[in-house]
């Protein structure tokens, strides 16, 4: 329980009247209320049943909604001061997943707290989000087109039709459908799911966006992370595949193949945790130039680090939830143990990510969503906690 208590304590330290901070370490822009970080911490708060943390989650969502752009964009992050607010909707590009995480957060809060009034309070903001997501399809074919740097992997090479973002949108729509139960939302969920299956699944016979590119790629044990007019990128995306299983998309054979691949992959890591993306991109590889230049400040995506093959406790927290979805508590326990071991390094420093080859910590310390990973996996295992998904 020590690991769990340390995680709860860090979330409490990251709590402010305006919501969760990304980190309690005063560095860069981490002491802001972030959409994706804040919602993931908020989901952990719901799982913990800690009312103080749940209030912080509610405040996080209220802060994000209060700073929604007139066209519907949810802030990537917000700094609230006594003299006003400094709002960012993204750095080198806007953040598509800030929009979907906000919807997921509001709906899960309202469902799990049995607070329909909270959903109704933010219903108009959610509907603006969905209108924006529809516009971001561009071709009206049900998949959102994501710019380079357009989601949590903001210094990586995924772009175009990114699997992770399509799955988050399905989750968001399912939450909205819980309250509205309208035919058009149900049809949209089905349409996006069908396009994911058509364009990302192996041996699909359905019409595809880019038949020529699909025919050139070999889809085997796992799905490509993204595709665009220039073709497919076939790196293994641990976060996306965890969402795929949590949402129960794909048949048993595909899901089992993904889990088998992931189980073998994590054993290659020094920390026995899944890397965010795999394999690493090296200098001289096809996508190295794209990776090397995609950073606003300093380059962090060295091989085996950050998004380029680095291991993130947060991502592994969702992998543990996927394992529980498939009724694999022993494997989920194993992941939790290794998340806890990583979070406990250097006196419970809760680092952002780790070098998957050496186990050395990387990035910012005292990251709130690294603590959230412990809470999410722990509660799924010991309290059988489940989100609405």
pLDDT digits (tens, 9 = 90+) for 86-122: 999 998 899 999 999 999 999 999 999 999 999 999 9
3-class SS of residue 88: strand
CA distances, 90 to each of 69, 101, 273, 332 (Å): 12, 14, 29, 34
Per the domain annotation, does 378 fall within a domain?
A: yes
pLDDT for position 27:
87
Contacts of 157 (CB under 8 A, 6+ apart): 148, 233, 235, 281, 287, 290, 291, 294
For residue 150, CA distances in Å to 136, 278, 370 come to 12, 19, 21
Give domain status of residue 388, yes or no. no
Q: Contact at 8 Å (CB) between 187 and 239? A: no
Residue 332 within any structural domain of the chain: yes
DSSP states along 37-59? HHHHHHHHHHHHT-HHHHHHHHH
Between CA 133 and CA 49 the distance in angstroms is: 32
Confidence of residue 84 (pLDDT cuts 50, 70, 90): confident
- CA atoms of 125 and 276, how far apart (whole Å): 31
* SS3 assignment, position 116: helix
What's the CA gap between 325 and 242, in Å, rounded? 10
Mean pLDDT to the nearest integer, 269-289: 97
Identify whether 387 is part of a domain: no
Task: Evaluate if residue 338 carries a pLDDT over 90.
Answer: yes
Structural domains counted in the chain: 1
Q: Measure the CA angle with vertex 270, ends 292 and 261; round to 5°.
A: 80
H-type alpha helices, 326-363: 329-348
- Domain-located, residue 389: no
- Residue 296: what pLDDT? 83
Rounded CA separation 9/11 (Å): 5
Nearest alpha-carbon partner for 153 in 18, 308, 343, 46: 308
| Assigned domain for 306 exists | yes
Tell me, yes or no, whether 299 lies in a domain.
yes
Question: Structural domain of residue 83, as residue ranges?
Answer: 2-382
Which tens digit of pLDDT belongs to each residue from 101-111? 999 999 999 99
Is 334 among the domain residues? Answer: yes
Confidence of residue 389 (pLDDT cuts 50, 70, 90): confident
At 109, which CATH number?
A: 1.50.10.10
């Amino acid at each position: 329980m020590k690991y769990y208590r340390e995680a709860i304590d860090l979330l409490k330290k990251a709590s402010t009247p305006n919501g969760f901070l990304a980190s309690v370490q005063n560095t860069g822009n981490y002491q802001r209320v972030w959409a994706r970080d804040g919602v993931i911490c908020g989901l952990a708060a719901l799982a913990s049943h800690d009312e103080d943390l749940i209030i912080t989650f509610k405040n996080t969502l209220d802060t994000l909604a209060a700073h929604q752009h007139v066209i519907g964009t949810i802030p990537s992050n917000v700094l609230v001061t006594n003299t006003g607010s400094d709002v960012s909707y993204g750095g080198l590009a806007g953040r598509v997943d800030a929009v979907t995480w906000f919807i997921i957060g509001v709906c899960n809060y309202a469902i799990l707290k049995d607070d329909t009034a909270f959903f109704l309070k933010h219903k108009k903001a959610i509907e603006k989000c969905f209108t924006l997501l529809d516009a971001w399809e561009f071709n009206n074919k049900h998949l959102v087109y994501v710019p380079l740097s357009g989601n949590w992997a903001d210094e990586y090479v995924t772009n175009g039709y990114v699997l992770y973002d399509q799955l988050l949108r399905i989750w968001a729509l399912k939450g909205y459908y819980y309250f509205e139960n309208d035919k058009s939302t149900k049809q949209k969920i089905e349409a996006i799911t069908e396009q994911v299956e058509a364009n990302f699944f192996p041996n699909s016979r359905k019409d595809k966006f880019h038949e020529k590119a699909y025919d050139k790629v070999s889809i085997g044990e796992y799905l490509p992370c993204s595709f665009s007019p220039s073709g497919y990128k076939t790196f293994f995306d641990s976060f996306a595949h965890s969402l795929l299983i949590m949402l129960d998309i794909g048949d048993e054979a595909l899901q089992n193949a993904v889990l088998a691949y992931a189980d073998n992959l994590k054993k290659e890591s020094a920390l026995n945790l899944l890397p965010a993306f795999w394999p690493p991109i090296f200098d001289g590889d096809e996508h190295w130039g794209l990776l090397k230049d995609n950073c606003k400040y300093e380059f962090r995506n060295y091989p085996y680090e950050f998004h380029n093959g680095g291991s993130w406790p947060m991502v592994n927290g969702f992998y543990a939830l996927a394992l529980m979805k498939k009724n694999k508590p022993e494997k989920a326990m194993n992941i939790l143990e290794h998340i806890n071991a990583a979070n406990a390094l250097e006196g419970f420093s809760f680092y952002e990510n780790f070098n998957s080859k050496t186990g050395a910590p990387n990035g910012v310390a005292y990251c709130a969503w690294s603590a959230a990973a412990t809470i999410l996996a722990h509660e799924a295992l010991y309290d059988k906690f489940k989100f609405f998904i």
